[in-house]
Amino acid sequence: MGPVELPAWLQPRYRKNAYLFIYYLIQFCGHSWIFTNMTVRFFSFGKDSMVDTFYAIGLVMRLCQSISLLELLHIYVGIESDHLLPRFLQLTERIIILFVVITSQEEVQEKYVVCVLFIFWNLLDMVRYTYSMLSVIGISYAVLTWLSQTLWMPIYPLCVLAEAFAIYQSLPYFESFGTYSTKLPFDLSIYFPYVLKIYLMMLFIGMYFTYSHLYSERRDILRVFPIKKKKM
């Protein structure tokens, strides 16, 4: 008797693609909900909605960003084909800004920059996860591919500027409240505002590295035009 062929749903490649599709779908739904919620609230309450953006959607945003750390595991074990370091830089940027800078300081949560930052993040992620979700099941659209490889070019630098501005606005509160600043043995201490200022410089260095990687990736992907038509 010849070898028995496994059903499609039991084959490793199918299970991997099914898992990635569900992961991308969850992320797309989360970021779409956040963006829709912010849009409806803005048209309903105007500028007042920007002040309590974090209180309205901060929990879902933190959940989505926490789940996104799985992408590092995906790359490490080979489920996703991408470079680990650029993705690590992108994810740690958001985790540090969201959890360390914004979540820890209630006064920063009311700043307009938080609303602007969330808009930029969600615009990028809605397009990225839509593209990734369809790619997993073998569907590609020229417009969506171009958009996913181009939208980040103006928005990503704006994200970094907004992140830097959020750090700048948080510094007085970290200085006043002493959050994360601590004394160490042997008369040593960690003054967290200095740590943030150092990270502020590293943020722009990381932006250059990430931008260069994304631009190279964009060039390679768009070079294969015409993009495959939708597979039935």
Q: Which H or E run contains 182?
A: strand 182-184
Catalytic residue among 71, 80, 93, 163: 163
Q: Which of 156, 180, 191, 211 is catalytic?
A: 156
- 163 counts as catalytic: yes
- Residue entry with tokens 């250059």: 208
Distance CA 78, CA 74 (A): 6
Which pairing describes strands 182-184 and 188-190: parallel, antiparallel, or unpaired? antiparallel
Phi, psi of 183 (to 5 degrees): -95, 140
Closest CA to 125 of 71, 204, 184: 71
CA–CA dist 27, 49 (Å, integer)? 24
117: left (phi over 0), alpha (psi -120 to 50) or beta: alpha
Of 93, 98, 90, give the one whose Cα is nearest residue 53. 98
Say how far residue 110 (Cα) sits from the centre of its chain. Answer: 21
Query: Which residues does the annotation mark as catalytic?
Result: 156, 163
